[in-house]
Amino acid sequence: METPRKILVIEDEPSLAKLITRVLQEEGFSVGVAKDGEQGLIAALASPPSIAIIDVGLPTIDGFTVCKELRTRGLDIPVIMLTARDSIPDRVTGLDAGADDYIVKPFAFDELL
């Protein structure tokens, strides 16, 4: 049996984190959740996931900084920013920080998958 790919979700809204986790698990992924930027960064560095889904507006360390720090420390995993911040400057900041994609909330799960 193939080991499921591990996804780290860094999201501070508990109900959204739970929903994302459930949908990803139904698709066969192993999911870890961190509720703030500091926990997410520690989790990603301790046990690198196959992909990280990161909110921007996080407590302790914002998602842009988390993404930039992952890249600075050599973690070259795909990163999806998943955020309500929809301005062009925010999108550019996210991509410049090293994100591979930038999805704006509300979103369709088909788009995320």
Which pLDDT score is estimated for 1?
45
Predicted confidence at residue 36, as pLDDT, reads 98
Determine if the peptide bond prior to 106 is cis (ω within 30°).
yes
Under 8 Å between Cβ of 66 and 73: no
Give me 8's structure tokens.
Answer: 């780290």
Contacts for 8 with CB less than 8 Å, ≥ 6 apart: 31, 32, 33, 34, 40, 43, 44, 49, 51, 52, 53
Predicted structure pTM score: 0.94
Residue 3 has pLDDT above 90, yes or no: no
Q: What are phi and psi of 92, to 5 degrees?
A: -65, -45
Taking only the tens place, the pLDDT of each residue in 38-73 is: 999 999 999 999 999 999 999 999 999 999 999 999
